[in-house]
Amino acid sequence: MILAAAHLKGPHIDWRSLSPLLALAGGGTLTLLVGLFGSRFVRAVLVPLLTIVAFGAFVGLSIWRFHHSASIVAGALRMDDLAFVLDLLLGTAGIATVLLAWRSRAVEEAGHGELHALLLFSVMGMAVLVSAQNTITLFVGFELLSIPLYVLCASELRTEQSLESGLKYLIVGSVGSATLVYGLALIYGATGSTDFGPIGQAISSGSIATDPLLLTGVALVLVGLAFKASVAPFHQWTPDVYEGAPTPITAFMAVATKAAALGIFLRFFDVALIGTQDTWGPALAALATVTIIVGNVGALGQSSLKRMLAYSSVAQAGYMLGGVVVGTQLGVKATVFYLAVYLAMNLAAFAVVVARERETPWRDDIRSVAGLGASRPLLAWPLTIAMLSLAGIPATAGFIGKIYLIDALVDGNYAWLGIVIVVGSMISLAYYLRVIAAMWMREAPEATPPVPAVRPAMAGAETAAETTRYPELAIVALVFGAASVVLGIVPGPLFHLVGHAGKAFGGLF
């Protein structure tokens, strides 16, 4: 046996192309180990710094490998420009999350080393997922991103809501994973291959495009991925989990998980299953419509900012699904473009929510931002811009993103879905503008917390705590808020970048 094993030839590995993933794996291991040191400085400063360095290396190596498309590890991973652009987004989201989580309760309770290592491994899962070119890698990436997230959601160990959120995510997430793996198995059964390329060839060459086995598999995969991208009606976990999870983790899930899920949507449906686009296109379009309606209507009545942003992220997932539906290069470009602007505007919004959560007794209630325009303009402006951009007001990045998506939809003969996007955006104005109105037109509420948790003797200490400012949060808010405007006024460079990502799928029109 041992001898036989020795004769097995391992696949050739192109280490240079694999290097972005290695940076994350190495960083994760290192932070976990360094986090064991007792020194407060090492834990609270060095570990986050190391994590940022690891993310920086990940981004840097991705940029280095740009334009060097390669299928590596025996075709299991495809490191092309689409993967690199998405890696860029994932790395940015990771860095922002580290900044948001720095000095947060979650990081204190769960331990610096642990939390940051989990974060790095989760991003690695996402990076594997968006590069997956094989159903096995797809599933490995999917689980590698999910399992750390389950733990991260529960990282505020002493908060009941956080634990509940983690548990709920785990249970419902397992159903999603099971569905996905079942679907992948059926597709393997129908096509006889686990590689995307051969699956695609089998579908386009043979007569199995309408094979019940294959299509059942497609249906199950669709549901499994829809779950992760929080596409209605597989989104119900989203508001609960987003609300319960520590806010930095919520921000991370909102932007990074979405980028990864849509990345694999693009890769799996536009490469492996493109031959059955006539079949899954309408189904996906219908799901997108339901998602846009459910997300936007659900957000209307929310008073919790995190819940509102959760529903908003459901609606935005519906918009982005439009780029997948059409199965064209333009659709890929539009989706990636929107993912980038979605990252900017959501991170800006979440940074402000995190800041206000720490500064006011209102937690993430909309009252926490009331009167912000007068008291903290540096936080109010990024949130205003983020809300306007999410709503798609002209001269913001969200507007260009939506125009691009609608352009792709019209081009791909799904103009009606473009109209749904416009209608959805109109509804969304109601809840986005409500936040802006609260910031600029309402007075800050009396600083009495909803639950009388502060004893009179603590009043002095409470004031001292309130004066603690979090410059890193303001910086994240300002940087991404500025990006939401700049990309709306000068979208050229981003167009250029996503143009390369779109060309990664040479087979598409």
Partner 1 sequence: MATTTWGWLILACPLAGTVIIGTGFRLWRGRMPGWIGTLAIGLAFVASVGAFFSLRNHPVEHRQLTSSLWNYAVTGGIDAKLQILVDPLSVFMCLVVSGVSTLIHLYSVAYMGSDRGYARFFGYLNYFVFSMLLLVLAGNFLILIVGWAFVGAASYMLISFWYRRTTATRAGIKAFVINVVGDVGLVLGTYFIFRHSHTLDFLATFKQAPTLGASHHGALVAGMLLLLVGAFAKSAQVPLHTWLPDAMEGPTPVSALIHAATMVTAGVYLIARMHPLFEHAQAAATVGAIGGCATLLIAATIALVVTDLKRVIAYSTMSQIGYMIMGVSSGAYAAGLFHLMTHAFFKALLFMAAGSVIAAMANEQSLDRMGGFRRAMPFTFACFIIGGLALSGVPPFSGWLSKDEILAFDATRGGAWWIFTVLGYLGALMTAVYTFRMIFRAFLGDPVPEALELEHGHIAHVEPPRNPATGEEEDTDVGFPGPEHHIAEREWPMKGAMGALALLATVGGLIQIPKVDNAISRFLEPAFGDSRFTHLEPSTAGAWLGLVVGAAFGLIGIAIAYRIWVQNPGFATRLRERVPALHRFLVNKWYFDEAIDLLFLRPATAFGRFAQSTFERLFVDGTLVGGTTGIVRVGSAAVRSLQAGLVRYYAAVLLLGLTVVGLYFLIQSS
* Shortest CB 65 distance to partner 1, Å: 25
Tell me the two tokens of residue 348.
Answer: 């800006």
Identify the burial level of 509 via C-beta atoms within 10 angstroms of its C-beta, where 0-12 means exposed, 13-18 middle and 19 or more buried. Answer: exposed
Closest CA to 319 of 442, 215, 401: 401
Contact stretch for partner 1 (CB under 8 A) within 12-20, 205-213, 319-327, 456-464: 205-213
Contact 230, 259 (CB under 8 A): no
Query: Does 490 sit near partner 1 (CB under 8 A)?
Result: yes
Q: Which of residues 249-288 bind partner 1 (CB under 8 A)?
A: 279-280, 283, 287
When asked if residue 223 is in the footprint of partner 1 (CB under 8 A), the reply is yes
How near is the Cβ of 392 to partner 1 at its closest, in Å?
15
Instruction: Determine the Cα–Cα distance for residues 409 and 231; give it in Å rounded to an integer.
Output: 18
Buried b (16+ CB within 10 A) or exposed e, 343-369: bbbbbbbbbbbbbbbbbbbbbbbbbbb
Residue 102 vs 280, nearer CB to partner 1? 280
Residue type, 84: F
Q: Which is nearer to partner 1, 66 or 495 (CB)?
A: 495
Enumerate the β-bridge partners of residue 304. Answer: 365
Binder among 20, 94, 166, 298 for partner 1 (CB under 8 A): 298
- Is 491 among the residues that bind partner 1 (CB under 8 A)? yes
Q: By CB under 8 A, tell whether 429 contacts partner 1.
A: no
Give me 314's structure tokens.
């459901």
* Total of chain residues touching partner 1, rule CB under 8 A: 43
Distance CA 262, CA 254 (A): 12
Cβ contacts of 200 within 8 Å, gap of 6 or more: 271, 272, 273, 274, 275, 507
Interaction of residue 475 with partner 1, rule CB under 8 A: no
Residue 330 touches partner 1, criterion: CB under 8 A: yes
Binding span for partner 1 by CB under 8 A among 36-44, 232-240, 256-264, 464-472? 232-240
Name the one range near partner 1 by CB under 8 A: 226-234, 255-263, 373-381, 413-421: 226-234
Candidate list 64, 66, 188, 495; residue touching partner 1; CB under 8 A: 495
- What the block records as the tokens of 194 is 């686990």
> Whole-angstrom Cα distance, residue 396 to residue 400?
7
**According to CB under 8 A, which one of 400, 421, 436, 483 is a site residue for partner 1?**
400
State both tokens at 367. Answer: 């009252």
Q: Which is nearer to partner 1, 205 or 210 (CB)?
A: 210
Q: Which residues bind partner 1 (CB under 8 A)?
A: 164, 168, 171-172, 175-176, 179, 210-212, 214-216, 218-220, 222-223, 227, 233-234, 236-237, 239-240, 279-280, 283, 287, 297-298, 300-302, 330, 400, 407, 489-492, 495, 499
